[in-house]
Amino acid sequence: MTQQHKHIISMLVEDEPGVMTRISGLFARRGFNIDTITVGKTQTPKVSKIVITVKGDDRTVEQIEKQVNKLVDVFKTIEMKDDESVTRELCLVKVSLSNEKAKTDIMHYAQVYKAPIVDITPKSAIIQLVGKPQKNDAFLELMKPYGIKDISRTGTTAIQRGGNGEK
């Protein structure tokens, strides 16, 4: 087996129904599991950006990228290299507040991570994390002993560093 790496692929697509199906179909056909996928509008009307993260060997991922590029609804695909792009993920986590100690600990950790508590009840708190997925993972790890009740993650989105936009 060739080396499996994580790849972040960003695509500018026409804002049409079915685009997501076409793209995910290409990945599924080759047995790729899409780790995360995010979609949103861009500064250009009718153009959306999709960011996908997958694991795979470089050659196969490049091949899929070319196939995606061929889709009529796709303007452009680029692979986001780690050192050339900023990547972020939003994660909401609900943790139990079982006792006073837990509550103090959790609030402390949240402060260190600069993660606001966006909702709180006597029994649980919802904390909002925005950061690199690895950083979010680390915070979730810290929360585990206190009892995580629920997690919602958006998946990774990314943007290229420097002056230019994707055109």
Partner 1 sequence: MKGSEAIVKTLIGSGVHTTFGFPGGAVIPLFDEFLRFEGKIKNILVRHEQGAAHAADGYARASGKPGICIATSGPGATNLVTGIMTAYMDSSPIIAFGGQVSMSLIGNDAFQEADMMGITLPITKHSFQIKKANDVVPTILKAFRISAEGRPGPVYIDLPKDCQVGEVTKEAPKKVDIPSFKPVYRGNINQIKKAADMILAAERPVVIAGGGTIIANAAKEVTVLMDTFMIPTATTIMGKGIIPEDHPLAIGQVGMHGRKAANYAVINADLVMAVGCRFSDRITGNTSSYAEKAKVIHIDIDAAEIGKNIEVDVPIVGDSKSVLSDLIVVMNEKLKKKTETEWSKRMKELNQLCRCNMDSKKEPIEPKKLLFELNRILKTDDIVVTGVGQHQMFATHFIDRMKPRTFITSGGAGTMGFGLPAAMGAKVAVPDTNVFDIDGDGSFLMNIQELATLKEENIKVIPVVFNNSYLGMVRQWLEIYYSKRYSQVKLGRHSDFVKIAEAFGLGGIRVEKPAKIQDALKESIRSKETMVLDVYVEPESNILPMLPPGGHLKEAFGGCMNAKGVFF
Q: Is 80 in the site for partner 1 (CB under 8 A)?
A: no
Note whether 142 and 66 are within 8 A (CB). Answer: no
Of 34-42, 49-57, 59-67, 148-156: span binding partner 1 (CB under 8 A): 59-67
Q: Which is nearer to partner 1, 71 or 117 (CB)?
A: 71
Torsion angle in degrees (nearest 10) through CA of 53, 57, 58, 62: -70
Question: Cβ of residue 48: shortest distance to partner 1, in angstroms?
Answer: 12
Phi-psi region of 76 (alpha: psi -120 to 50; beta: other; left: phi over 0): beta
Of 72, 163, 164, 167, which lies in the binding site for partner 1, with binding defined by CB under 8 A? 72
CA distances from 54 to 9, 36, 47, 117 (A): 8, 7, 23, 30
CA–CA distance, 58 with 4 (Å, rounded to integer): 7
Of 7, 8, 9, 13, which lies in the binding site for partner 1, with binding defined by CB under 8 A? 13
Of 73, 79, 105, 166, which lies in the binding site for partner 1, with binding defined by CB under 8 A? 73
Q: Which residues bind partner 1 (CB under 8 A)?
A: 13-14, 17-18, 21-22, 25, 29, 59, 62-63, 66-67, 69-75
